Amino acid sequence: MNGAGRFITFEGIDGSGKSTQARHLDGRLREEGYDTLLTREPGGSPGAEEIRALVLEGDPDRWSAETEILLFTAARRDHLERTIWPALEAGKVVICDRFVDSTRMYQGLSRGDLRAQVDALHELMIGTEADLTLLFDMDPGLGHQRAKARATAEERFEDFGEGLQAQMRQGFLALAEEFSERFRVVDAGREIDAVAEDVARIVLEHLR
């Protein structure tokens, strides 16, 4: 349990529609009378947004995977202290676009097996897990296309290429089995409204 509130995280490859669906869900929950907080990682607090620019911009080889674990975890700690924990204490439903499962995948898998280091640092410095995690599962080629079409400066991970996306998809599906109690897998390769209906049904069921 996370205070009086509920902590819901969205995970999946780049371009799988997480941000779009997070906004839809936030609107829907407000209509249903829930007090919500919509946030994202890396970022979600002023300090963590500064770290976001460090990790998402620049050359793919700018940081080693080990250094990234430290940077993403530092950003997460600040985000929790200043944004997430106070909202959960206040009884809100927190919707967070990416959380530690992204670190378990992107830093834990992409450049060798660092999963044990990610989990150890998480236990030591973070501790909090989501109550419910939605995995937006889709074809990695399509996700990569959608993500590249956005054309922002935040392309460091997209520049690792489509191969990384395919590896992340398989990794996320395996993680959903490992943590089957809190994960629900959503087919994200459909129309926005169809995906949003599934998401609302799963989350409202969970909240009731």
Question: Please, what is the minimum distance in Å from the beta carbon of residue 193 to ligand ADP?
Answer: 8
Are 7 and 84 in contact by the 8 Å Cβ rule? The answer is yes
Asked if 41 touches ligand TYD (CB under 6 A), the answer is yes
Asked if 157 touches ligand TYD (CB under 6 A), the answer is yes
Q: Which stretch binds ligand ADP (CB under 6 A): 16-24, 27-35, 106-114, 170-178?
A: 16-24
User: 112 or 201: whose CB is closer to ligand ADP?
Assistant: 201
Closest to 22 (Cα-Cα) out of 96, 86, 90, 76:
96
Q: CB atoms < 10 A from the CB of 175, how many?
A: 20
User: 123 or 191: whose CB is closer to ligand ADP?
Assistant: 191
Give residue 102's identity as a one-letter amino acid code. Answer: S
Q: Return d(Cα 55, Cα 48) in angstroms, integer.
A: 11
The 10 Å CB-count burial string (b at 16+, else e) for 134-155 is bbbbbebeebbebbeeeeeeeb
The listed partner (ligand ADP, ligand TYD, none) that binds 146, CB under 5 to 8 Å by sort, is: ligand ADP
Q: Which of 63, 106, 136, 183 binds ligand TYD (CB under 6 A)?
A: 106
Q: For residue 97, list its beta bridge partners.
A: 10, 40
Q: What is the dihedral of CA 48, 15, 183, 106, to 10 degrees?
A: -60
The listed partner (ligand TYD, ligand ADP, none) that binds 103, CB under 5 to 8 Å by sort, is: ligand TYD
Asked if 15 touches ligand ADP (CB under 6 A), the answer is yes
User: 41 or 131: whose CB is closer to ligand TYD?
Assistant: 41
Residues that bind ligand ADP in the complex, under the rule CB under 6 A? 12, 14-20, 146-147, 150, 191-192, 195
